Structure 1
Amino acid sequence: MTLELTLVRHGATDWNGAGRWQGWTDTPLGVLGEEQAHRLAARLAGHSYDAACSSDLSRAVRTAELVRPGAPLILDVRLRELNFGQFEGVTTEDVLHDPTYHDWQRDPWNLPAPGGGESLRGVGERLHDWAQELPDGQVLAVSHGAAIRALLCVLFGWPSRPVPGYVLPFAYQLAHTSVTRLSRKDGRWTLHTYNDHAHLE
């Protein structure tokens, strides 16, 4: 038997548009995010899933509800975004002037964000624990940008290193409501599609 896992990043929020870091802050979808989710729903309308899961943060929950209207939804805190600690609600422009940010950026994969935040490794490992528990079948899950990429780093050994001009150590971007498809067979994971956002083009 095989698990077919479809990972979706939530739709955009007003904080995304303002360059403000959300993390565990519970921000709602913006108008653009609602439109993105409707477009994804139309794209996935002919596909059936055995289960639908979501982070418990409202921007993810709302995305899942729009993509799979009326379907039962399993909420799991392990699908949450990276906890940015003291940087929650701060803009990228402002955080660049904070010396504690630059200290964290030396190794954000292993160092927790200051002020009670998480490391990216910790995020990847909690999502990995969640994914390993999934039963075989077709599963749709809505999560967050850093969280999905951290999971892929854990599953496939992708590198995590500083990228000039970007606040997270990922050289690969992930669009809002993009689709990333994986499968697990006999304990082995395979990546089939990454950052597919054709419905937005």
Structure 2
Amino acid sequence: MLSYLDLASLRVGIPQRDGGFMSVTLPFLARHASLPVRRAERAMRDLLHAGLVTAQQRAERTEDGGYRGLASLRQLPAALFGAFGLSKWLRHERSKAVMRRYRAASEATKAEREQRRGSRAEAQASLALGGIAQRLRQRSSRGTAAEMSTVATGRAEAIARRIGVLKALHPDWDRARCYDMALGELD
């Protein structure tokens, strides 16, 4: 059970990326401990009676109105580590595990925020480019030489704006890649 111990909550199982938690079954634990299932059941019963493990049975309701059993939620008490003289180590490792979890949540929030900001910037740039393209079409239909130079300047400005948007969305891209992408999108 210690191999699958979540230090932050002292639950036995596997934390999921979506914030959930998958409890492990007794046959799973028995297989990883190289024990027969029946022997693992007796050992778990002894651990429960000794207070070295707590377990909560879980079930979910099925479509036909019945119940289906799920893996029990097992938890190791902090006193267990104290009995082996590891309470100081446990406090230290738990604080590190909690900080890792906070950092991961913070990074996920930051990535989501950046994605929203990027999509908003892309939408604004798309609207701006749409307006520029419309003006370019109107000017090109008139066809004078002075207007053609304005069109060229407007196109260069549109390319420059799109390069800026692409660089904001993809900071790891170099100038040449942003320029190629902007030209490809405007052509």
- TM-score per shorter chain, which class? under 0.3
Asked which structure has the greater RCO (Cα within 8 Å, sep 6+), the reply is: 1
TM-score norm. by structure 1 comes to 0.23
TM-score norm. by structure 2 comes to 0.24
The structure richer in helix per residue is: 2
